[in-house]
Amino acid sequence: MVTNAATLGRSGVHDFLIIRASALVLAAYAIFLLVYLFSNPGLTYQDWSELYSGVGMKVFTIISLFGLLAHAWIGLWQVLTDYVKCARLRMFLQFVLNIAALSYFVTGLVVLWGV
């Protein structure tokens, strides 16, 4: 079996499972937010602040942020591996895009715990 340090899983099967699990978490988070939006018309800042001040919502959001990071990391690796044949350009793009995804994750954590 060939392993690759650029992937999150140990093999293609692990990457496949991580992608699917993260997609389920992100779908659950999106559905929850849509239901919350439609069941609470006329939301105010106070309502959003109360929603995100609970520990349960913070944990759910952190798990969703981590799922987004994992999904992006593996997805970007797969797309760049398929379509960018120049190894140096691919490594540069992976580096830049993964730094961006990681910075979004860290920014999300800082904003979330600031509520």
Q: What are the phi and psi torsion angles at 90 (to 5°)? A: -60, -45
| 29 annotated ligand-binding residue | no
SS3 40: coil
Q: Which two tokens stand for residue 27?
A: 């779908």
Q: Terminal CA-to-CA distance of the chain, rounded, Å?
A: 46
Separation of CA 9 from chain center: 15
**Positive or negative, the Cα torsion across 106, 111, 114, 115?**
negative
Separation between Cα atoms, residue 104 and residue 66, nearest integer Å: 10
| 83 annotated ligand-binding residue | yes
Binding residue ranges for heme? 71
Binding residue ranges for a ubiquinone? 83
Binding residue ranges? 71, 83
